[in-house]
Amino acid sequence: MVFLQFLKMEPAMFDELVQRVRPRIEKHDAKMRKALPPGLKLAITVRFLASSDKYPSLVYSLHVARNTISFIIPEVCQAIVEEYKDEVITCPTSPEWTSIGEIFRDRWNVPHAVGALDGKHVAMRKPAKSSSLYYNYKGFFSVVIMTLLDGDYKFLWVDISGYRSMFDAQIFNDSELKECLEDNSIGFPELSPISEHDAPTP
């Protein structure tokens, strides 16, 4: 229970992550200093991502120097992306789009839908020499992440090119997703007419 509260992750999932990213983040001991265990590096990163903890708080709770933490977090994040990217975020085939549509219809009572699209401002530290480029209308620095999810909350597509006060429509209009929709390379199933059976149930 303490583990789950601290890392917001079940131990089994954490163990899987350690095993998957270990080859990418494990370092050998140096003459003057022992390398940090992959599990500790992952714990630092997961805690940072799952909470509002700043570096000083991580230093206190995990007893790792601040400058070390500043190197660990980007390294582990990149390792997770490289390890899971081809497995977690893949463009569905036409039959898979049909299955996604069935989930939206049957579970969420939304017929003729194959994805949920939305944008979110993710707070960040002001990048060097960026002026007000990433300062948004909500009053803090952020990057806008736009995602397309299926009916099980799984990512189908992600864009992180948005910044400042860009609206979702602006990001979508400049996106690869829109291009794929316009040239029909996304592989959507054939259109079907809307019938009375498609009307949402009360």
Given a contact cutoff of 8 angstroms between Cβ atoms, the answer to whether 44 and 22 are in contact is no
Which residues, other chains included, contact 33 with Cβ-Cβ below 8 Å and sequence gap of 6+? none
Task: Compute φ and ψ for 142, nearest 5 degrees.
Answer: -160, 165
- pTM here? 0.65
How would you write 17-68 as a 3-class SS string?
HHHHHHHHHCCCCCCCCCCCCHHHHHHHHHHHHHCCCCHHHHHHHHCCCHHH
Q: Parallel, antiparallel, or unpaired: how do β-strands 155-163 and 116-123 relate?
A: unpaired
The candidate with the shortest Cα–Cα distance to 182, out of 191, 190, 173, is 173
Mean pLDDT of 84-102: 87
Q: Is residue 104's pLDDT more than 90?
A: yes
Domain ranges within the chain, ordered by starting residue? 2-87, 94-198
Question: The tokens of 69 are what?
Answer: 């933490």
Question: The tokens of 144 are what?
Answer: 């806008």
CA angle 49, 167, 122 (to 5 degrees): 10
Q: How confident is the model at residue 144 (pLDDT cuts 50, 70, 90)?
A: confident
Can you give the pLDDT at residue 201?
58
Q: How confident is the model at residue 197 (pLDDT cuts 50, 70, 90)?
A: low
Helix residue spans in the chain (DSSP H): 2-7, 11-25, 38-50, 55-62, 66-88, 94-108, 168-173, 176-182
